[in-house]
C-alpha cells in the first residue's frame, strides 16, 4: 500500500488488508519533510506518530507491539506516558546506524493492553 498515512482512506485500506484480524505489530518509520527548525520538525513527527498510535490502538491485538521513530523534543515525555498507559513495557532505542548527533530515536512498546488505564 502506497500513500500518505495522514489520509483516512490509506488507514482504511491498511485495516481492510487485514480483513478484521487484529494486528500484532505496528512499525512506523514515518518522518515528515524536515524544515531545519527543531521544534517544528519535532511537532510534525509527533503528529505522525500520535496518528500511528491511534491506528494501533484501534487495530492491535492484545499483547501486540508498537515501534515508532520520533525526534527528541517537548512532546516526547507526554507521548512516552501515553505508551506506558497502553503497553506493559516501553523503552527507547537508538540504532547504531543513527548518527550520535541526530535527534532521531525509536520508541519500543510491547504488551498492548486493549483497555488502557486512565
89 is catalytic: no
Q: Which of 11, 57, 69, 114 is catalytic?
A: 69
DSSP codes of every residue in 34-92: P-S-HHHHHHHHHHHHHHHHHHHHHHEEEEEEEEEEEE-STTHHHHHHHHHHHEEEEEE
Q: Which residues are catalytic?
A: 69
Amino acid at each position: 500500500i502506497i500513500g500518505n498515512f495522514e489520509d483516512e482512506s490509506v488507514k482504511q485500506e491498511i485495516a481492510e488488508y487485514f480483513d478484521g484480524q487484529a494486528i500484532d505489530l505496528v512499525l512506523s518509520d514515518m518522518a515528515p519533510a524536515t524544515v531545519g527548525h527543531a521544534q517544528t520538525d519535532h511537532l510534525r513527527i509527533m503528529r505522525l506518530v500520535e496518528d500511528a498510535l491511534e491506528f494501533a490502538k484501534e487495530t492491535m491485538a492484545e499483547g501486540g507491539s508498537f515501534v515508532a521513530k520520533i525526534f527528541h523534543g517537548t512532546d516526547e515525555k507526554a507521548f512516552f506516558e501515553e505508551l506506558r498507559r497502553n503497553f506493559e513495557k516501553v523503552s527507547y532505542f537508538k540504532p547504531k546506524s543513527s548518527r550520535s548527533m541526530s535527534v532521531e530515536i525509536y520508541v519500543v512498546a510491547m504488551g498492548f493492553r486493549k483497555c488502557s488505564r486512565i
